[in-house]
Structure 1
Amino acid sequence: MGRLARVYAAVAVVVAAVAVAVVVVKRRGKGPKWGKVRAIFTDVERKCATPVARLRQVADAMAVEMHAGLASDGGSKLKMLLSYVDNLPTGDEKGLFYALDLGGTNFRVLRVLLGGKEGRVIKQEYEEVSIPPHLMLGGSHELFDFIAAALSRFVATEGDEFRIPEGKQRELGFTFSFPVKQLSIASGILIKWTKGFCIEETVGEDVVAELTKAMERQGLNMRVTALVNDTIGTLAGGRYEDSDVLVAVILGTGTNAAYVERANAIPKWHGLLPKSGDMVINMEWGNFKSSLLPLTEYDEALDFESLNPGEQIYEKLMSGMYLGEIVRRILLRMAQESSLFGEVVPQKLEIPFILSICDIVAQRGARLAAAGIYGILKKLGRDTVTSPKQRTVIAMDGGLYEHYSIFSECVNNTLRNLLGEEIAGTVVIKLANDGSGIGAALLAASHSQYLEG
């Protein structure tokens, strides 16, 4: 069972246990011990409160930071990165396309056969490969050679239905979910490794060039057509299924958002305007920070002791990686100050990240996520009634949203409250699984070198 699977399997147990504790504290608890517990719970509830008025202020602050990030690099905590994706899938795409999804200790290779409007996705196949730990800390050539070799073996299993026409080069969408400074649709400089990787010689290099050289060493005739991250892949996959998709959000172990912006509304864009007039923006919204965010001493302690203090504050309030850790810190204080679990503090409460999710903390995160989405809609002018009414679809991916119903229901209900019933009826959140895989292949198709015109 994978790490995330174990986390989600524990959610129901943890929530049930915490719910019982809350009932005991609020309904039956008596005496000095329970008075202390009640005081801590009351304090947490108060500090985590997210009334609608405050959420609207958070949304306004998000929209302001979006404008600032689009105006200049470094002008905002939101990076508002240009993705150079100016053509999203339309459904007309035809042919065979590959995807490589590298975002952690495993990577996936995928191929998809597209048949245009009528055929859509005719067939798709994929394979998942584990990266040996020593390659995560070794040399750049060794890592990319391993990836290219796996890709080459996968290509060799093509059935007759996947054969490409004579003289055409295979095309690949490369999902690379690490910090990158994008230079074009098919090139980007690695800023730093995360998620346990540490290969210094790759930092500052074009990751597409590194992969291309490795594919050449394998004798694999394949071209990277699009370099994207998982959020943009989710947006592409969502757009392929629904032409009204305008925004993509990831709510899982981490969090991010991307959306379609008008190119003429990006002051820092100095190139020729794309034919479509659009540009997909990777917000990197996990780094959003504002005095309006309801931070507690538990959040501040978590941030101080994290590997990136002062960064990713929004993410630390609402992503699956951190929600349980906040709960652990609250329960640890209860155990220390009120002997909630007896005279001896349970050893497991001393271990960082041992627990999963509690309603108070999860609902705060969900409501802040909804405020962020509302801020994007405000920036795009989709928070008001238009004539005729515009339908806006948000492609959503991530295990936190998909598997934790209290969280997803809270996101949906809060967004509806912020928008109001009339506008809320035009905004739809759609679950978009596997966006980082199929979406990358679709972006390879929509940016194919063989497109006419």
Structure 2
Amino acid sequence: VGLDVVEELTKAMERVGLDMRVSALVNDTVGTLAGGRYGNSDVIAAVILGTGTNAAYAERANAIPKWQGLLPKSGEMVINMEWGNFRSSHLPLTEFDESLDNDSLNPGEQIYEKMISGMYLGEVVRRVLLKMAEEAEFFGDAVPSKLQKPFVLRTPDMSAMHHDSTPDLKVVATKLKDILEISNTSLKMRKVIVQLCEIVATRGARLSAAGILGILKKTGRDVSVSKEGEENQKSIIAMDGGLFEHYTKFRNAMQNAMFELLGEETSRNIIIELSNDGSGLGAALLAASHSQYLEYIESA
């Protein structure tokens, strides 16, 4: 903390005798944007929805008040939003969100991330179940001890319960037994738990969609505009992260919310596209292009 990451990485490589130069250091969101944009000029933004969450987008350079230097020749610059740290009185925080934040390692920070990312969704579900156990004896007279352990219920477990399609919700029963040591649950109880997963996942998905809409509105891509005889311009959002890739009901709820927010006509021109390891590809491309630039400068 407080040190130059590239300098420290270079020192570490020197210590182990690795002959390598760091020509570019980018986060996964910027890497995903670079990788997507390289393959398709219609990619205007990248969003990570995984353990954590972030977004980056291409902005008109003259629309950036903070920028004081010469404008780039391309006329655009990449904005790394760090949107996980967004907080607002308009965010629908519940008592469970507030208790999670208060108990976290970074209280008051990453509020948006704590409502929508893979690290926290399962924990929100656990906290709701704990209150149901304490105040409504949902699991019987005693509160299950394992249920009191923070982060014992992970988002992949929540996803598995949410996607349970067996008639008797056998997956839910197995997860409760194996993770929380809760046995002999009724089908009615298991249905309530699936409904809880639905509520928490849908809220996170819709908030994610709202964030993407914010980017579209800022860049003027939230409306369909075309000249006579021309097709409407496509806007592609490159997505990466395990939450978006593997949590199908979360992904579907997010896409449904986008359709609802944008309307049918505009939605046809907004494409949410999975970018497998787009961040790694983008980082490699940026490193290669920067290396070529340095070689050009040195030869000149």
TM-score normalised by structure 2 residue count = 0.79
Structure 1 residues 332 and 444, CA gap change in structure 2 (3 angstroms): same
> Which of 128, 132, 137 is the equivalent residue of 1:330?
128
Aligned to 2:96: 298
Partner letter of residue 209 of structure 1? Answer: E
* 1:28-67 to 2 correspondences below 5 Å: none
The Cα shift of 1:258 comes to: 0.5
Aligned to 1:262: 60
RMSD across aligned positions (CA): 1.7
* 1:211-250 to 2 correspondences below 5 Å: 211-216=9-14, 220-250=18-48
Residue 233 of structure 2 is aligned to residue 435 of structure 1: no
Residue 171 of structure 2 is aligned to residue 362 of structure 1: no
The Cα shift of 1:220 comes to: 4.8
| Mapped partners of 1:342, 1:330: distance in 2 | 16
Report the count of equivalent residues.
251
The Cα shift of 1:251 comes to: 0.6
| Mapped partners of 2:246, 2:82: distance in 1 | 23
Aligned to 1:36: none
Partner letter of residue 386 of structure 1? Answer: V
Aligned to 1:209: 7
Q: Deviations over 1:34-54 (max 9, x none)?
A: xxxxxxxxxxxxxxxxxxxxx
| Mapped partners of 1:216, 1:271: distance in 2 | 34
> Which of 73, 77, 92 is the equivalent residue of 1:279?
77
Residue 263 of structure 2 is aligned to residue 420 of structure 1: yes
Partner letter of residue 198 of structure 2? Answer: D
Instruction: Determine helix, strand or coil for the equivalent of 1:428.
Output: strand
Aligned to 1:409: 252
Aligned to 1:348: 146
> Which of 221, 230, 251 is the equivalent residue of 1:382?
221
Unaligned runs of at least 5 residues, structure 2: 159-196
The Cα shift of 1:227 comes to: 1.4
| Mapped partners of 1:214, 1:322: distance in 2 | 32
Partner letter of residue 266 of structure 2? Answer: I
Instruction: Determine helix, strand or coil for the equivalent of 2:130.
Output: helix
Partner letter of residue 312 of structure 1? Answer: Q
Does the 8 A contact of 1:261 with 1:281 survive in 2? yes
Structure 1 residues 217 and 310, CA gap change in structure 2 (3 angstroms): closer
The Cα shift of 1:225 comes to: 2.1
Does the 8 A contact of 1:254 with 1:321 survive in 2? yes
| Mapped partners of 2:129, 2:3: distance in 1 | 45
| Mapped partners of 2:115, 2:18: distance in 1 | 44
| Mapped partners of 1:206, 1:267: distance in 2 | 26
Partner letter of residue 241 of structure 1? Answer: G
The structure with more helix, counted as a fraction of residues:
2
TM-score normalised by structure 1 residue count = 0.53
| Mapped partners of 1:316, 1:416: distance in 2 | 24
Q: Deviations over 1:184-215 (max 9, x none)?
A: xxxxxxxxxxxxxxxxxxx3222212233444
Instruction: Determine helix, strand or coil for the equivalent of 2:24.
Output: strand
Query: Greater CA deviation, 238-247 or 441-450?
Result: 441-450
Q: Deviations over 1:92-140 (max 9, x none)?
A: xxxxxxxxxxxxxxxxxxxxxxxxxxxxxxxxxxxxxxxxxxxxxxxxx
Aligned to 1:251: 49
| Mapped partners of 2:94, 2:52: distance in 1 | 20
Partner letter of residue 416 of structure 1? Answer: F
Instruction: Determine helix, strand or coil for the equivalent of 1:204.
Output: coil
Give % identity: 71
| Mapped partners of 1:234, 1:309: distance in 2 | 29
The Cα shift of 1:216 comes to: 4.5
| Mapped partners of 1:368, 1:204: distance in 2 | 32
The structure with more strand, counted as a fraction of residues:
1
Does the 8 A contact of 1:225 with 1:449 survive in 2? no
Partner letter of residue 235 of structure 2? Answer: T
The Cα shift of 1:252 comes to: 0.8
Partner letter of residue 238 of structure 2? Answer: A
Instruction: Determine helix, strand or coil for the equivalent of 1:321.
Output: coil
Unaligned runs of at least 5 residues, structure 1: 1-202
Instruction: Determine helix, strand or coil for the equivalent of 1:345.
Output: coil
The Cα shift of 1:452 comes to: 5.8
